[in-house]
Structure 1
Amino acid sequence: MKSRIFMYLFVFTALICLYLFVSNNKMSTAKDAKIDKLEKQIVQLEDSVQSTQLKVLDMQYFSLENNDDALAYYDHLGLKDPSRYIADKLLETNEQKGDNPLVPYEGMESDFKINKIKVLNHKWILTDFSDGKYWGELLIKYELKDDMGIDFTMLDHLLYSRSN
């Protein structure tokens, strides 16, 4: 009787070990597949981040902040952020009643006002303007004087046709 109890105990223990071995093997295979999938996603994300960084660098190519030669033009004025100063002065032209004086069109829905500003270098600005329904772009030449005043001159303009 005692030998049968030990035999049943041995068989029961062997079955438990076999069950644990098979389930661990399946779990290990599933985890390995999940790890492989996550590694592929990481590679894709790294590629995506790298391409995004290249796009950002490409977009920043024409900007005052990344143009050391143009920034050197403002060294004597002591401006910490010349782009922000210039953009603020340009936005002040929106404060006049009616259309912005730099926009050569009359607003159709309301007054044309400058919305977005991109300071390209120490001489040119690219802007977007709109009246809420119609929009366009301006290329503006500017000159920052020693007394911190700015003269703006519109060089070219474009009004997009509205398509329905």
Structure 2
Amino acid sequence: MYLFIFSALLIIFQYVNSKNIIDKYEKDIKTYKTKMADQEKTIAELDDRNFELSYFSMDRNEDALEYFEAQGYSTDKLIPAIIEGLYNMNNYEGDDHPIVPYVSMTGSKLVINKVRLLNHKWIIANFTDGQHWGEIFVTYEVDENNDLKYKLAEYFMYPKIG
């Protein structure tokens, strides 16, 4: 009789314990599935946003890449050279930047910070002297001697607030 009661209690204990463990796992699985669905939605939204933000980018512009490749240029080498050419303009003597049409209003030099190659003809870049910021729109071309030629098309400086 004691053996029967002990066995029944043991079976009841095993059943309740197993049921609690299974319920906990089911709850955890639902929680993780909900989190994964939310994260997948967030990833899809970020992918869409990234695609929109990189629309005007040389990396995604097949026509612009094909333009250079048709002329026999390696875009893997040419694109960094184009960007580096603008950054190299930061190494100048005197007050006048080679392409930025402003003079620094502080003791430091004007420098180009960020460059975005839009396509096979256009570049947008920002510049600063540490306190004042602006942007330039530059056209460029590779001449018959394989030299890069930059031409300032538009520019502006943000007004200092405060």
Q: Where does structure 2 lack aligned partners over 5 or more consecutive residues?
A: none
1:38 maps onto 2:32 in alignment: yes
Asked if the contact 1:140/1:152 (under 8 Å) is kept, the reply is: yes
- Matched ranges for 1:67-106 at <5 A: 67-75=61-69, 76-81=71-76, 82-98=78-94, 99-106=96-103
1-side partners of 2:65 and 2:144: how far apart? 15
2-side partners of 1:73 and 1:38: how far apart? 48
Match of 2:59 in 1: 65
1-side partners of 2:115 and 2:23: how far apart? 55
* Pairwise CA distance, 1:73: 2.0
Asked if the contact 2:65/2:75 (under 8 Å) is kept, the reply is: no
Normalising to structure 1: TM-score of the pair? Answer: 0.89
* Pairwise CA distance, 1:161: 2.0
Structure of higher CA gyration radius:
1
1-side partners of 2:114 and 2:147: how far apart? 21
- Matched ranges for 1:8-157 at <5 A: 8-75=2-69, 76-81=71-76, 82-98=78-94, 99-109=96-106, 110-157=108-155
Find runs of 4+ consecutive structure 1 residues off by over 3 angstroms: none
Q: Tell me the C-alpha RMSD between the 2 structures.
A: 1.4
2-side partners of 1:126 and 1:78: how far apart? 22
Q: Where does structure 1 lack aligned partners over 5 or more consecutive residues?
A: 1-6
Aligned residues: 158
1:83-140 deviation per Cα after TM superposition (whole angstroms, max 9, x unaligned): 2121011111111124422111111221111010000011110001111221111111
2-side partners of 1:20 and 1:162: how far apart? 73
Residue 115 of structure 1 aligns to a residue in which SS? strand
1-side partners of 2:153 and 2:83: how far apart? 17
Q: Which amino acid aligns with 1:44?
A: D
1-side partners of 2:22 and 2:97: how far apart? 68
Normalising to structure 2: TM-score of the pair? Answer: 0.90
1-side partners of 2:13 and 2:93: how far apart? 83
1-side partners of 2:29 and 2:15: how far apart? 21
